[in-house]
Each structure stands twice: as C-alpha cells, then as structure tokens.
Amino acid sequence: MPNETITQTVSERYARAVTTGEEMCCPTGYDHEELQKFIPEAVLKVSYGCGTPVGLTTVQPGETVLDIGSGGGIDCFEASRRVGAEGKVIGIDMTDEMLALAKSQAPIVAKNLGYATSNVDFRKGFADAMPVDDHCVDLIVSNCVINLAPDKVKVFREMYRVLKPGGRFTISDIVADQPIPNYMIQDKEKWGDCLSGALTLGDYWGGLRQAGFGGIHQVGFIPWRVIDGIHFLSLTLTGYKLSSDSIKQTAQFATFTGPFSRITDERGHSFTRGIPQSIDRETEQLLKNSSYRELFVFSDSPTTLTKEHPQWSSVLPEDAPCVWKGQYALLTGPFVEACDDDEHTFICGEAQEICSKTNKVLESEAYRKYFAVINRASETVTSQEPAACGPTDGCC
C-alpha cells in the first residue's frame, strides 16, 4: 500500500473522530479528573493514546517540549502547565480538524493556567518531516502516533535532528511480538486501529538506536490485544541524545554489579558481573546515563567485586522442578543482549520461551523493569507434569 494512501486513511479516521466522537481502541492512562481542572471537555473527549505521557513528569520550567501527533492538544496543554509561562510547547499534527480544535482551545487553557498568552504552538506537519528547527527541543513526547507513520526510520531520524544534545524522548506506542503479515499491512482499517503499522519491539528499539539514541529503556508496558496469534503491546520507552563533546572523562574503569551475569551495552561493549573493564569517555557517558548508572561501580583503577560486596546483585531460581506455561520474555533494553545466572541469553526485542522458574526470576524487582512477558498459550496450561531442569534441557 502506498505511503500516501496510508497517511490519507489515518488522517481521515482521526478527522472523523473529531466530529463523531468515535472511540479509538488504544489503552490510555489519563487522569481526567485532574486534567479537566484546566483543559476543556472538547479536548478531553477526543484524546487518544496508548499510555500516560510519563515523560512530562521530568519536565523542568522553561524547557521546550515537542509533541508528535498532538491531536486535540491534551499532552501539549499538560506540558504547557509543567514548563510554565516561560517554557514553550510545539504540537505537530497532520489532521486539519484536530489542529483547528487544539488551536481554538489554546487561549482557554492559557487563561485557566493564568498565562498572559498561550505558550503552545500548533503546527501542521508530518512525523517524518517535522516543521521544527534543528537542536531546539529538550523533550519529545508522542502517544500512540509513530506506529501510524509509514516510514518510522525517518521519524526516528527527525526526532534526533530536532533534539538538543542531552535532550530526551518518552514515547508510548504499540509494538508487536512478531512481524505483521502482509494481509494485515494491506488492511486500511487496521492502520487506524494501531495494528497494521506496528513494528516488532526489536525493530522499534533498533530503529531508535540506529538513529543515534542511547540509554533506550522501558518505562512501562501493557499487554493490549492478541490478533491471529500476534501479541500487541502498549510500550513506553525513554531514550537520550547523548553528546560527549564537552564531557570530561572522570573514570577509567567500570565494574558491572548485576543482576545479570553479563550484558552487552548499546555500543557493543560486553561486561561481566564483578569484572572491571576499561572504558573511554563515550562509554562512561552512556553508562552514567540514568538507565545504566545504578548497575556499575566507576573507579580510576580496576575494582573487582565479589558476592560479598554490597552492590553485587543476582537473583537465582528456586531449587525445584519447573513447568512450561506458554510464557515468553522480551528484553526491552537498554541492553542489546543480557544473560542471567542460568545462562539464558536474551536479545533485545526477541521473544524467548521461559519456564515458570525463570518467569519468577524475571518478575523480581531487580529484573522486571527490563522485560515484557507475554503468554502465547491459547488455553491455560493445567495438566503439565513438572519438567526436569538443566542447561541441556533448554531450561534452568
């Protein structure tokens, strides 16, 4: 299906929603009771998304925020409140009806917030060719929009272009556990349903990484729908436009503390728990990013850690038989690859079947923020005998 057809189909679907009040199908997490204190009902009733824009909680007064696919303006107006009157918000949308609604409500929101004038600038544009200057944005948010763009690679590159060095994004979107088949990609109606354009988690995360972002990690996920055996997830990711140009190196070595036995970072460096490794300036900057920092000890000289060290972290499975229940784990970053203490190797975005014991490990506080776990069993598994466990059995 031509990209132009996809874009027109999606735009018409959302234009129709403005006038008909059509319910869109994605899960949301808005606190409407709080937002209605300053955002008009006309905006709230056409606000669609697949996750709460949690990135807005990191906003500082005076920053510039960009919302890709701003729709009726709900996220822009919340950003407006958080950046304050001295901050700036840019909303981009391709649908005239959505833009008209958002622009008409902007003065009302500004008055409700006590601003002399609105600090929100709504612009018509597309995610893969944004009408925004280079290096001018502190934070990008987007809520269930990028999956609607035919060319996600261009979108990710545009995101990197407009962000300032040190800037960040938090985006909620729909991803799939396996590639979308052609019959679904060619279904125009399913594009508007946030299905046909969904990338696999691996391709989505990999596309952001190839665009130049680092520290890409999961903020949260919600299992959404299963259609023809394909699992669709609402996933929220955060990442950073790292820049080491003005960063002075302060540590020569980094020692990984766990809970994994070893990991490979986004630049391809491998770290084994407890073993110090020399690092350069760029690697230090990546590892001191918030998504990695708590997992490393930094030092001027090699520092080896043992199990007795207070920062050593590991989670071992129970010493008992396990059961296969149809569960699959997807590593969601920030690592390219990670290995647990039972030598299970997880590759970012790839679904790997896990037994009940491994699932319990991944549900622990130390592990759960790095994984999305789904169940591919069509029925609840109730009659299976406990399995023998061992490295040769592909289990524990």
Nearest-angstrom CA–CA distance, 298 and 256: 9
In whole angstroms, how far apart are CA 36 and each of 30, 91, 112, 200, 316? 11, 20, 10, 35, 47
Is pLDDT at 391 greater than 60 in this prediction? no
Q: What is the tens place of the pLDDT at every residue in 335-370?
A: 999 999 999 999 999 999 999 999 999 999 999 999
The CATH code for residues 3-240 is 3.40.50.150
Strands 120-124 vs 137-143: parallel, antiparallel or unpaired: unpaired
Note whether 127 and 146 are within 8 A (CB).
yes
Separation between Cα atoms, residue 336 and residue 73, nearest integer Å: 35
Query: Which range has the worst mean pLDDT, 2-6, 65-69, 210-214?
Result: 2-6
**What is the reported pLDDT for 337?**
98
Average pLDDT (126-145) is 95
111-122 pLDDT per residue, tens:
999 999 999 999
Instruction: Write out pLDDT tens, residues 84-108.
Output: 999 999 999 998 998 999 999 999 9
pLDDT at 389: 59
Cis omega before residue 2 (within 30°)?
no
**Distances 294 to 197, 217, 243, 247, 365 between C-alpha atoms, Å:** 35, 14, 20, 20, 14
Q: How confident is the model at residue 318 (pLDDT cuts 50, 70, 90)?
A: confident
Residue 395, token pair as written in the block = 């289990």
| Interval 47-63 mean pLDDT | 74
Per the CB < 8 A criterion, the answer to whether 83 and 65 are in contact is yes
- Calculate mean pLDDT across residues 236-248: 84
Q: Cβ of 72: how many Cβ atoms within 10 Å?
A: 29
Q: What is the pLDDT of residue 43?
A: 83
Q: Is the pLDDT of residue 29 over 80?
A: no
Q: Which fold has domain 246-314?
A: Ribosomal Protein L9; domain 1 (3.40.5)
Of 24-28, 222-226, 237-241, 311-315, least confident by mean pLDDT is 24-28
Per cent of the chain over pLDDT 70 is 84
Other C-beta atoms closer than 10 Å to the C-beta of 243 total 15
Distance, CA of 129 to CA of 367 (rounded, Å)? 37
Across the chain, where does the E strand assignment appear? 64-68, 88-93, 120-124, 137-143, 163-176, 199-200, 214-227, 230-240, 253-256, 262-264, 270-272, 276-278, 296-299, 327-331, 337-339, 345-347, 351-353, 371-375
For residue 15, the model assigns a pLDDT of: 45
- Convert the pLDDT of each residue in 250-292 to its tens digit: 889 999 999 999 999 999 999 999 999 999 999 999 999 989 9
289 residue type, one letter: N
Say whether the peptide bond before residue 334 is cis (omega within 30 degrees of 0). Answer: yes
Which region among 7-11, 171-175, 220-224, 363-367 has the lowest average model confidence (pLDDT)? 7-11
Q: Distance between CA atoms of 379 and 220, rounded to whole angstroms?
A: 26
Please check the confidence at residue 11 and state whether its pLDDT lies above 50. Answer: no
Q: Tokens 């622009």 identify what position? A: 103
Tell me, what's the pLDDT at 27?
Answer: 53
CA distances from 42 to 36, 45, 82, 146 (A): 10, 6, 21, 24
Indicate where the chain has its CATH 3.40.5 domain(s). 246-314
Higher confidence at residue 395 or residue 65? Answer: 65
Torsion over CA: 193, 352, 240, 223 (sign): positive
Tell me what the pLDDT averaged over the chain comes to: 87
Beta strands in 48-155 (DSSP E): 64-68, 88-93, 120-124, 137-143
Q: For the chain, give every residue range classified as CATH 3.40.50.150.
A: 3-240
Helices 152-162 and 201-211 pack at an angle, to 10 degrees, of 40
